Structure 1
């Protein structure tokens, strides 16, 4: 917004006001905007004297010849209109015309007459055109012929004078092109600084420090849509190269990936990040400002990559983008993968994703990958370069909290989410039965062969529970089994309780 009221809102006036009110108060801005000083005031005033700021029309005062031509044309046009309108009314009264209407044909004002009534006009009238049916003739009455001729001449003279003025101004701009580019660069730099500052005020942003190996952005939030924002903590332990983010659909996994990507890119563009102050410390100072890692590139495979035009399925779209990521990344790159290994057979997809994450652990600075594959969640147990993070999900409201719980594994909660989104309750109930039966088969298959007497009967001495979203559900009941420790976690969390 212009800092001072301007009738024409001309850039010359706005630049001068900006220089006086703002730039000169800050030495750094004054150095940055050095190209504005003495920014061709003569050329600017000449342009604004000739060109209307509102619609870009060449003004009458651009030259005396243009002003004279337009004045004579206006006078002639007024006389022409009044005369042709009187002829149109006269022809309508005589029944020679359907209505008292003035039309334009071949850039001349004329009247529309019925076929065969041309003789109602005086001698010397000119037929300009006929309708497609031949029922209407468009006539220039003899008294208006010289007025129409004068309009054509004056219009041509006006066009020629406007072209001459624009050519003169264009030549003046071309003569000062180098200087104009300097002014444009300086104004652009100031505009960018202003936008950064206004964004920082809007989002409550703070300046960050850059670190090379670690990521530590406490309580970072990125306002992508409408406020208020939700804070997300990113504190990746030293030495960790791959973080697998797990949790339910609609739980905020992809939002966390996007938040980190923006948090890595925004400081490189000179933007402040909206970070909440550390409790008890107040707003951070430049000496204890939060830190983010410096990445040379942020490479992302987020969203569905299918394309009908390119004959790409969801899986092939992901593969194509990941292939490009592998070709471009360096040891200083951040890689973001959404739903790694999805869109194909779960077993093969999990295997491919596992191998991909292992390769990225060697070749990228940091990789964040969202997944529902259980095998990817187990990578952290065998390799210190891997770390798990689960998104917190409020089961009561079925809404994400956008909190990352580092070191934890988030449950998918697919049935709870489907139920919360209004899915058919009968279908959800049947799905729960199928799911429990499927999990029972997993547990049974994990037991030794001589424990095959385990069943789903309710007469029991022990009970196997499955923890689903923190809530225990009875999975199996049967006789005691000395090999109950062989019931492995696999894709579930199973606890064996012996009553009494």
Structure 2
């Protein structure tokens, strides 16, 4: 897919939203790197995976929360660089998450056979071996357990005893030498316990001086009687560190030996995470599965980045259409219509459901867009020049399976030349086999779309009373720009607006009037149709009301039969109780 078109159609924003629904770093990376596929078989497989994930979510299967992307740590172990206990804990946790999810997905294999297969490993025993080895050695808080080795357990037990003996001895010395101490507390210097001795009592407390206070009145002495106990403690600490380092190296080598299985289960978790995120996002915008088709047919489609509470759905039934020319006033929704089709096509080819009531779409080999103003001061490009450069790229790339979206092609130059150029560009793209949607204000383009085979007009809806946009899309009719009416509604001097109307060519004025009349006729027809539907629904509502009243009377009759007399009806003859 064309990266520039993906940016113009706001696919990166959807990827960010998708990444926000993943559960761990591996899935997030896949979401941010997701691109539409041009291969129909791959698109079908992606969509099938999303449907499986939808079913899994409905069955309560959650994403791999708590897992880590352990591939960098595994690669480090393969390079014979020891991992620390925290890294090994992440490996242990991730293997555990994979095992639990493999079991959960496997329980629902009939609903998600593809994802159940994803969660399997060629060498299942390898994952079990490394989990068992790490579980015996790694503390859940990120350290090494005493059970990591017999030697480590022994050293630690001896170290606890040595520290307790040294602490007891120091306490006894502090009591016996109380009169010679500056403070009653003990402290550490150079990692060794010492007493704060008065400088004047130095000879009364034989030992090693490790430090002195700034005033010189206090010296910090390790009593001779304590040196041997402290030496034993330091020796055991060193042996503990050596044994821990040996164990970490041993476990790191075990991780390196099982790197294929560990990388495989991490990738499986990432794939499952992405699938579940696609399912969650598809549900969040109330998406529907896409039916593969040769032509576009979208019903009640919505742009996924717009607020669903306010977004106006549009229909795009484009069977038999190779060029759709969308016209109407500015801010009426022409560009949004283009973006909606383009983005939904990309989302489908990423494997997601699309926000629509129903959707039939082909798989496009390219989605090519020229939307917005690409003028560049740095490159000395005007709006027209930038658009032409983009058109050159699009026309060179477009083919029979391409979708091309052009927002006011050949804008920014002489209107007459621009309209002729835009028409020629669209004609050529259609000849190349592409499906083309183009917005325009040029009457010539609208006239061409009315006459050309396999071309059609579409108009964005506008309230003819207020000239406010309705953001709907009406296929089969061109739209008027209403620029002068909108300008007048925004406060421009009416005399200036009227002068502009009179200054236009007679044929242009006649065409705009014809378009306005056609729009008014359609609006009137819509109002009559709505009124007819309401009138047809009214008798049914009255019948339902009468049925409800009869039901109430029957209920009253039953209450009377149970001995409670209902009040008589106000009008009509009294009914006899049955």
Q: Tell me the TM-score normalized by structure 1.
A: 0.62
Name 1:339's counterpart in structure 2.
408
- Give 2:288's aligned residue: 206
Equivalence map 1:40-439=2 (5 Å): 40-51=127-138, 62-63=148-149, 141-143=220-222, 163-212=245-294, 214-228=295-309, 229-238=311-320, 240-276=321-357, 290-306=359-375, 314-344=383-413, 346-394=415-463, 400-414=469-483, 428-430=490-492, 432-439=494-501
Alpha-carbon distance in 1 for matches of 2:336, 2:314: 10
Q: State yes or no: 1:488 paired with 2:507.
A: yes
Query: Conserved in 1, the CA contact under 8 Å of 2:102 and 2:116?
Result: no
Between the aligned partners of 1:431 and 1:306, the Cα distance in structure 2 is 32
* Structure 1 residue 334 displacement after superposition: 0.5
Unaligned runs of 5+ in 1: 84-92, 95-99, 111-118, 129-134, 278-289, 420-424, 447-486, 496-500
Q: 1:43 to 1:432 in 2, by over 3 A?
A: farther
**Conserved 8 A contact 1:47-1:169:** yes
CA–CA distance in structure 2, aligned partners of residues 306 and 120 of structure 1: 85
Q: Please state how far the C-alpha of 1:366 moved relative to its aligned partner.
A: 0.6
Give the equivalent residue in structure 2 for 1:14: 100
Is the Cα contact below 8 Å between 1:76 and 1:150 reproduced in 2? Answer: yes
How far 1:186 sits from its partner (Å)?
3.9
| 1:488–1:318 Cα change, 3 Å | closer
RMSD: 5.3
Residue of structure 2 in register with 1:115 after alignment = none
Q: Deviations over 1:173-216 (max 9, x none)?
A: 3322333344344444444443344444444433332222x222
* SS of residue paired to 1:429: coil
Where does structure 2 lack aligned partners over 5 or more consecutive residues?
Answer: 1-22, 24-59, 67-92, 171-180, 194-198, 515-578
**SS of alignment partner, residue 294 of structure 1:** coil
Instruction: Kindly indicate which of the two structures has a greater share of residues assigned to strand.
Output: 1
Look up the SS of the partner of 1:390 in the other structure. Answer: strand
After TM superposition, give the deviation of residue 233 of structure 1 in Å: 0.6
1:439 deviation in Å?
2.6
Give SS of 1:35's match. coil
**In structure 1, what is the Cα distance between the partners aligned to 2:201 and 2:107?**
69
CA contact (8 A) 2:315 2:473 kept: yes
Residue 543 of structure 2 corresponds to which residue in structure 1? none
Alignment partner of 1:245: what SS?
A: strand
How far apart are the structure 2 equivalents of 1:396 and 1:154? Answer: 91
SS in 1 for 2:507: coil
Q: Show CA shifts across 1:110-163 (max 9, x none).
A: 9xxxxxxxx8997966679xxxxxx999x9945499899999988877666555
Distance 2:132 2:250 in 1: 14
Q: Report how far residue 333 of structure 1 moved.
A: 0.6
How many aligned residue pairs are there? 410
More helix as a share of residues: 2
What does the per-residue CA deviation read over 1:251-291, in whole Å, with 9 as the maximum and x for residues that have no partner? 222221222113223333333334326xxxxxxxxxxxx52
Bigger RCO of structures 1 and 2 (CA < 8 A, at least 6 apart): 2
Q: Distance in 2 between matches of 1:125 and 1:304?
A: 78
Change (3 A) 1:382 1:188: same
Structure 2 distance, partners of 1:164, 1:243, is 71
- The question of whether the paired residues in 2 share the 8 Å contact of 1:219 and 1:231 is answered with yes
Deviation track 1:324-344 (CA, whole Å, cap 9, x = no partner) reads: 323332221111223323345
- The separation in 1 between residues aligned to 2:161 and 2:342, in whole angstroms, is 66
CA–CA distance in 1 between the matches of 2:463 and 2:441? 18
CA contact (8 A) 1:3 1:14 kept: no
Contact persistence 1:108–1:148 (CA under 8 A): no
Paired with 1:271 and 1:372, the residues of 2 have a C-alpha distance of 34
- Secondary structure of 1:180's aligned partner: helix
